[in-house]
Amino acid sequence: MNVLNRIKLKISRGEYSFSDHSIYDKLEICGFTTEDLLNAVSTCKTVIKQTNTRAERDMLYIGYAISGKPIEIVCRFYNKKVYFITVYDYE
């Protein structure tokens, strides 16, 4: 099973969590909700492994918010869950 399918499966099972307050701050700044974030992963077609970060386990997902606006999500597997780290407007 590829990484994207593993993440989609974990999300469908509720096996995910969000980073501390920073992701919630970023969601608010970008005008997204947690539902937008989950929708973006479920509609995601592009996955990029981050190799220039401190934690090379991070993956970048590009999907769409419920409104159709593109969104970038950084997450990783941690403690058998998908751990959402941050979110960006896709430009």
Q: pLDDT tens, 26-83?
A: 888 889 999 998 898 888 876 666 565 555 467 777 888 999 998 888 888 888 888 8
Query: What is the spatial order of strands in the sheet that 59-64 belongs to?
Result: 16-18, 81-89, 70-78, 59-64, 46-49
pLDDT of residue 51: 60
Q: Residue 63's beta-bridge partner residues?
A: 71
Contacts of 90 (CB under 8 A, 6+ apart): 62, 69, 70, 71, 72
pTM over 0.75: yes
pLDDT of residue 76: 82
